[in-house]
Amino acid sequence: MTPRLELRGITKRYGKRVVAQDVGLSLRAGEFFVILGPSGEGKSTLLRMVAGIETPDAGSILIDGREVTHLPPNKRNVSMVFQNYALYPNMNVYRNIAFPLKMQFFPPEEIAAKIQAIAKTLGITDILQSSVNRISGGQQQRVALARAIVRSPSVFLLDEPLSNLDARVRFTARAELKKIQQELGQTFFYVTHDQKEAEALSDRTGVLHQGRLEQVSTFEVLYNEPETRWVGDFVGDVPMNYLPDPEGGVGEEIGFRPEWVVLDSAGPRSAMVELSENLGETHYLVCVTPEGKKIILRSVVRHGPGETVRFRIVRAQRYGPDGRRMPPSPSGEGPVEGPLALTTKADARAQGPPPTVP
Amino acid sequence: MGSSSPAPVPGGRGPPNPFRHRLHLSRETWVPLAFILPSLAYIGYFAFYPSVDVVWLSFQTPHPAAFGYNYATLVQLGVWNAIENTVVVTVGALTIQLVAGMAIATILTKEFRGKGVFSSIAILPIGFATVVAAFAFSLIFPAVGGYANSALVGFGLPPVDWIHPSAQALVTIMLADSWKNTPLVTIILLAGMTTIPRSLYQAAAVDGAGPVRRLFYITLPNLKRFIAITLIIRGISEFNIFALPLVLVGSYPPLLTVLVYNLYSPTYPAIYQASAAASVLLAFVAVFIAIVIVMGGTRR
Amino acid sequence: MKPLRPARITLYVAVALLAVIILYPIYILFLVAFSPAHFTLDALYPPQLPHAFTLQNLTTALQSYNLIDPLFQSLQVAFLVAFIALGLGIPAAYGLSRLPPGLAYGITTVLFVANILPALTIVVPIAAEFISLGLYDTAVGLALLQELVVLPLAVFILLGAFQSIPREIEYQARVDGAGLARTLFGTLVPLAKAGIIAAFLLSWMFSWDEFTFAVILVPIHPTLPVVIYDNITRGNLLATTAFAIVMTIPVILLTVVLQKYLKGEELAGGLKG
């Protein structure tokens, strides 16, 4: 089946700064794909190249199998929601939503019908005649969304559409966005720096770092099997922990999440607590190991600074000196130090599939 | 427009077009350039071409005489005097306009009853054409009689010939020009003053600076960019001042522009000498710009 | 009522003094226009205050001089200049706003050099050129030269207007299916309205006032400033007052009606960036 959107070897530089380096991607029809990465490292540029606002230095972009790399935006059949919504300030809500339809020469009755339907779905019927400068941020976001989904393009491009909302509205808007995407069954290409959004929304997530796609997979896999140490550090509430791999060669380390560790007074490892941070049910313990490495562990009980805790690692990934993930140790089991004993509810995440070689 | 760009390599994996790369003319650059091109072509034909032409003409002469004959004639026609007068008027008028503009702008930053009316009055002269302003001033400052002299005589003072002795004529020109152009200076300086945070003044007042020191330590340094803009815009206009002296005092004492016009006059079509005088004017403006650029360059 | 502080008194005195100085020439102009000549121009030391009111000066001037043709010529040239300023200026300003800053700065500088070149320097050789092109003594020819001064200013104001529009609005229009022209004229131009009106007004008013190009280029079909100059040199001072008043009224009306567009922030244009 032809992918809905395909990027091949996309490269883009601004002077010396590389914002995209040989990026290759392929989106299925109906997929919610999220590009996740830190601000200013090329996410928006990638989206803009798909939109046709910018042109890649090399590589090609295909939409429904059609080469569009050098086509202007209006010939690509995509729609887009910008971070600042880019509502036309000289038009009211109705005329904003009508604009893309007018550009395609829809008859007025059909435009009116489509807008009424969309407005009902998004709950903006009573503000259709309002000026876009007089409505709340949440309403502006819905109007921008309505304008994007009122026609049926091949791909929807969304550039951090929720980041201008305040935290409370953002939460409901996120759920709503996912629901709409599922109802429409359309392909969403979504850019964000917020991993919570990636986790909640995406079918698959691509992590972009300094113009390179570090890993493309479900969020679950990103979290449990980060392909690079950078991804392990970026994804998750706290960075991954690393300790030298007893079975590995020089520079090889094992990486593990706090919840892949069981505090066990009979455990083979020890660390001294430096700092303890209470987060609801759990405590995050910033510890120093005898090797002098800083790691973060979790505990259901309080441990004060200066205390020594013993633990065992029940699950881990191995990373080579280049920072890339290596296959599990020759025994095929991975560096596991005893059976997993669930200590908190939150540890449920560690029950994910065991590490496998892709 | 898109058709003229090189056809994209299918798949895009091939090397980028080296020609396009060397010129750095991406699509993002040449499309905007195409929008600017008509203006540039227009400016080129109507401004740059004649400017070069006038310098070329200034070295042509019907006499098979020596190189620079036209310029030699200019000296006999009093070009030095004209240059001197132009400089005097420029410096004098700029000074008056800066001081008056500063005073009015300062007043307009304050709150007082009747401020709305006063701000309308302050920009009113913009609505009067230069020739109209010159005409009104010629009613006030003629050679004999007139409204200024009527006031002087009313106070028991002797009347003054406002336009014949060179000095009076130049002062009259400066006054009329300042009346017409101070509002523009006021607008620019006022825009500049609104960018200065009030807290700076409050801090300075707390630190014990009176109004005068606040002017020199806060207002003027923060207005530097705006004063520079004013000087450039008004300075160039002052060199080109033409309608106003022509209406107000006629051809004498001559300014550079008036000299060009006198030479050009259709009844005495001395096109080559006119070109020479015009070239002097051009050189003058060029020197002024150079000075401003050099000064701006060292200040930054 | 509390007594005024000395600083207040100084302020009011300064305001009053400046207001009188600014209004005085305007007052004299109207005094001469609406008083019988023997109280004004015919008197050696005319009285400062009005003694009698008459419309005679104006009616005589309007009857005995051809005012309609110069008025029409002035209007024609001013509108031509203003429309050419927008026609060339809007695309140029849009283009500049989309170029890399360094290149845009260079081009703006080149445009402003044209603004700086002395009118008399340009007009001497171009007058001869215009005769052969058939543009001599035509409204179009005069407008094309006045445009030299106006266009850089108009581009500057419009550039500021376009720069203040978020780039995303333009991208959005493109993604929504609008072509280049439709994006510029359907989306960006309406948003730059205030700047466009300011540029139009400024261009119009400059042309209305312009004398140097006019006196040399349109001697047979002169504009109002040239007619005023001609009448002064011929000594028709009463007629001149009538022309002066006719010339001033449209500008005052325009300024009052469109005052809100003639503010510093519109005119400051690209300076903000």
The pLDDT assigned to B3 comes to: 40
Q: Do B28 and A54 touch (CB under 8 A)?
A: yes
Q: Would you call C105 an interface residue with chain B, using a CB distance cutoff of 8 Å?
A: no
The answer to whether residue C208 is domain-embedded is yes
- Inter-chain Cβ pairs, chain A and chain B, closer than 8 A: 34
What's the CATH code of the domain at C136?
1.10.3720.10
Q: Which residues of C touch B38 (CB under 8 A)?
A: 88, 91-92
Please, what is the average pLDDT of chain B?
Answer: 80
A74/C187 CB distance under 8 A: no
Chain B positions touching A54 (Cβ under 8 A) are 28
Structure tokens at B289: 């710009």
Q: Give the span between the Cα atoms of A19 and A45, in whole angstroms.
A: 7
Q: What is the pLDDT of residues A166-217, one digit of tens each?
A: 888 888 889 989 999 999 899 999 999 999 999 999 999 999 999 999 999 9
Which is nearest to A90 in space by CA: A149, A133, A145, A46?
A133
Preceding omega of B253 cis (within 30 degrees of 0): yes
Q: Please report where in the chains the tokens 């509810």 appear, as a residue.
A: A345
pLDDT digits 0-9 by tens, B243-265: 899 888 887 778 888 888 877 76
pLDDT at A64 over 70: yes
Q: C172 is written with which tokens?
A: 């959005």
Q: Do A8 and B16 touch (CB under 8 A)?
A: no
Residue to substitute from A78, A90, A141, A145, interface C, most C β-carbons within 10 A: A90
A157–C171 C-beta distance less than 8 A: no
Contacts of B28 in chain A (CB under 8 A): 54-55
The top-scoring range by mean pLDDT among A185-189, B73-77, B120-124, C259-263 is: A185-189
Query: Mind listing the pLDDT tens digit for each residue in B150-183?
Result: 888 888 888 888 888 888 899 999 999 999 999 9
The Cβ of residue A185 has, within 10 Å, a number of other Cβ atoms equal to: 8
Has residue B281 got a pLDDT over 70?
A: yes
Q: What is the mean pLDDT of residues A77-84?
A: 91
One domain, residues C257 and C141 = yes
Out of C25, C99, C148, the one facing B32 most closely (by C-beta) is C99
Domain assignment of residue C231, given as a range: 66-236+248-272
Residue of A54, A60, A72 with shortest CB distance to B12 = A60
Q: What is the ipTM of this complex?
A: 0.85
Task: Please tell me the predicted confidence (pLDDT) of residue B299.
Answer: 45
**C residues 173-212 lying closer than 8 A (beta carbon) to A:** 173-180, 182, 187, 190-191, 193
Contacts of B13 in chain A (CB under 8 A): 8-9, 58-60
Q: Do the Cβ atoms of B127 and C255 come within 8 Å?
A: yes
Residue B18 at interface with chain A, using a CB cutoff of 8 Å: no
Q: Which of B259, B263, B293 is nearest to B85 (CA)?
A: B259
| Closest by Cβ to B131, choosing from C48, C211, C271 | C211
The model's confidence at residue B208, banded by pLDDT at 50, 70 and 90, is confident
Tally C-beta pairs within 8 A across A and C: 61
> Residue B110 is encoded by which pair of tokens?
């304050």
Domain over B84-250 is classified CATH 3.30.1490.20: no
Residue of C nearest to B244 (CA): C211
Residues C10 and C141 in one domain: no
Any CB–CB contact under 8 A between C22 and chain B? yes
> How far apart are the C-alpha atoms of C9 and C11, rounded to whole Å?
5
Asked if residue C59 is part of any domain, the answer here is: no
Helix, strand, coil share (%) of chain C residues, nearest 5 = 80, 0, 20
Nearest to A58 among B2, B5, B16 (CB): B16
The reply to whether A90 touches chain C by the CB within 8 Å rule is yes
Within a domain: residue C132? yes
Do C50 and C70 lie in one domain? The reply is no
Chains touching B (at least 3 CB pairs under 8 A) are A, C
Confidence class for position C268, pLDDT limits 50, 70, 90: low
Angle at B101 between CA B97 and CA B104, to 5 degrees: 145
| Cβ within 8 Å, pair B179-C25 | yes
**A56: closest chain B residue by CA:** B12
Most confident of B190-194, B205-209, C23-27, C103-107: C23-27
Q: What is the pLDDT of residue B16?
A: 45
Residue C195 and residue C117 in one domain? yes
DSSP per-residue letters across A152-178: --SEEEEESTTTTS-HHHHHHHHHHHH
Residue owning tokens 């006198």: B262
Residues 6+ apart with CB under 8 A from C161: C93, C192, C194, C195, C196, C266, C269
The three-class DSSP label of residue C117 is coil
Q: Is B32 on the interface with A (CB under 8 A)?
A: no
- What pLDDT, on a 0 to 100 scale, did the predictor assign at position B232? 82
Asked if the model's pLDDT at residue C178 lies above 70, the reply is yes
H or E element that contains A326: strand A325-326
Q: Beta-carbon neighbour count of residue B287 at 10 Å?
A: 11
Length of chain C, in residues: 273
The neighbour count for residue B213, using CB atoms within 10 Å, is: 13
Same domain, C160 and C214: yes
Determine the pLDDT at residue B92: 95
Nearest by CB to A69, which of B12, B15, B26? B12
Say yes or no: C189 and C266 in one domain: yes
Q: How many CB atoms lie under 10 A from the CB of residue B149?
A: 23
Q: pLDDT-based confidence at C263, cuts 50/70/90?
A: low
Residues C160, C37 within the same domain: no
d(CA C129, CA C125): 7
Would you call B2 and A72 a contact, using CB atoms and an 8 Å cutoff?
Answer: yes
Averaged pLDDT, B115-122: 87
Check A60 against B8: CB less than 8 A apart: yes
C125 and C219 in one domain? Answer: yes
Number of domains in chain C: 2
Which backbone phi and psi does A15 adopt, to 5 degrees? 60, -120
Q: Mean pLDDT over all residues of chain A?
A: 87
Does the beta-carbon distance from C265 to B54 stay under 8 Å? no
Residue C91 lies in a domain: yes
Residues B74 and A57: their CA atoms lie apart, in Å, by: 60
Query: Does pLDDT of B2 surpass 60?
Result: no
- What whole-number distance in Å separates Cα of residue A229 and Cα of residue C240? 86
- Do C160 and C224 fall within a single domain? yes
What SS3 class is residue A350? helix
Using the Cβ of A116 and the Cβ atoms of chain C, whether some distance falls under 8 Å is answered with no
Q: Which residue has the tokens 């919570």?
A: A196
| Mutation choice for B interface testing from A68, A69, A71 by most B CBs within 10 A | A69
Q: Which of B216, B295, B257, B223 is nearest to B90 (CA)?
A: B257
Choose the closest CB to A82 out of C172, C180, C193: C172
User: Between chains, do B13 and A59 touch, taking CB under 8 Å as contact?
Assistant: yes
Residue labelled with tokens 């392990």:
A232
Q: How far is CA B217 from CA B208, B230, B296, in A?
A: 12, 20, 20
Strand order in the sheet with A17-27: A17-27, A5-14, A58-63, A66-67
| Contact between residue B164 and residue B152 where contact means Cβ atoms under 8 Å apart | no
Mind telling me how many Å the CA of B4 is from chain A's nearest CA?
Answer: 12
What is the pLDDT averaged over residues A347-354? 41
pLDDT tens by residue, A289-311: 988 899 999 988 888 888 999 99
Domain parsing of chain B, residue ranges:
84-250
| Residue contact B8–A67, C-beta within 8 A | yes
User: Residue C1 falls within a domain, yes or no?
Assistant: no
Average pLDDT, chain C: 86
From the number of C-beta atoms within 10 Å of its C-beta (0-12, 13-18, 19+), residue A39 rates as exposed
CB spacing of C166 vs A86 below 8 angstroms = yes
C242 occurs within a structural domain = no
- A103, C178: Cβ pair inside 8 Å? yes
Same domain? C71 vs C42:
no
Q: Does residue C125 sit at the A interface (CB-CB below 8 Å)?
A: no
What span, in angstroms and rounded, lies between the C-alpha atoms of A29 and C1?
Answer: 79
From B15's Cα to the closest Cα of chain A, the distance in A is 7
Residue B29 above 90 pLDDT?
A: no
Does C204 reside within a domain? yes
In the numeric block, the tokens 């001395």 are attached to B270
Is A87:A132 a contact under the CB 8 Å cutoff? yes
Contact C28/B140, CB-based, under 8 Å?
yes
Residues C16 and C118 in one domain: no
pLDDT at B99: 94
Determine the 3-state secondary structure of A312 from DSSP: strand
For residue A88, the chain C residues in CB contact (below 8 A) are: 169, 172-173, 187, 191
Query: Is the CB of C229 less than 8 angstroms away from the CB of B246?
Result: yes
User: Does residue B176 contact residue C68 with C-beta atoms inside 8 Å?
Assistant: no
3-state secondary structure labels for all residues of chain B: CHHHCCCCCCCCCCCCCHHHHHHCCCHHHHHHHHHHHHHHHHHHHHHHHHHHHHHHHHCCCCCCCCCCHHHHHHHHCCHHHHHHHHHHHHHHHHHHHHHHHHHHHHHHHCCCCCHHHHHHHHHHHHHCCHHHHHHHHHHHCCCCCHHHHHHHHHCCCCCCCCCCCHHHHHHHHHHHHHHHHHHHHHHHHHHHHHCCCHHHHHHHHHCCCCHHHHHHHHHHHHCHHHHHHHHHHHHHHHHCCCHHHHHHHCCCCCCHHHHHHHHHCCCCCCHHHHHHHHHHHHHHHHHHHHHHHHHHHHHC
Instruction: Tell me if A67 and B27 make a contact (CB, 8 A cut-off).
Output: no
Mean pLDDT across the stretch A224-230? 92
How would you classify residue A89: left for phi > 0, otherwise alpha for psi between -120 and 50, otherwise beta?
A: alpha
Whether the predicted pLDDT of A245 surpasses 60: yes
* Three-class secondary structure of residue C216 per DSSP: helix
The sign one gets for the Cα dihedral C145, C149, C151, C154 is negative
Q: Decide if C151 is inside a domain.
A: yes
Residues contacting residue B243 through CB under 8 Å, at least 6 positions apart: B130, B131, B134, C211, C212, C215, C225, C229
Report which of B171, B184, B180 is spatially closest to residue B133, judged by C-alpha positions.
Answer: B180
For the segment B224-232, the average pLDDT, to the nearest whole number, is: 84
Q: CA triplet C24, C30, C35: central angle to 5 degrees?
A: 120
Contact (CB<8Å) A60/B2: no
- Three-state DSSP string of A39-75: CCCCHHHHHHHHHCCCCCCEEEEEECCEECCCCCHHH
Distance separating alpha carbons of residues C203 and C154, to the nearest angstrom: 7
What SS3 state is found at A310?
A: strand
pLDDT above 60 (res B1):
no
| φ, ψ at A36 (rounded to 5°) | -115, 140
Distance CA(A263)–CA(C91), nearest Å, equals 69
**Pair of tokens at residue A77:** 């059949």
Are residue C177 and residue C103 in the same domain, yes or no? yes
Which comes out higher in pLDDT, residue A113 or B145?
A113
Sign for the CA dihedral angle at C50, C51, C52, C55 comes to negative
> Which residues of C are less than 8 Å from B150 in CB distance?
43, 45-48
Average of pLDDT values for C21-48?
87
pLDDT of B126? 84
Contact C203, C85 (CB under 8 A): yes
- Whether pLDDT at A344 is above 70: no
Long-range contacts, A323-327 (Cβ 8 Å, 24+): A323/A228, A323/A229, A323/A230, A324/A227, A324/A228, A324/A229, A325/A225, A325/A226, A325/A227, A325/A228, A326/A248, A326/A252, A327/A357
The answer, yes or no, to whether residue C270 has pLDDT greater than 50, is no
Shortest CA gap C175–chain A (Å): 5
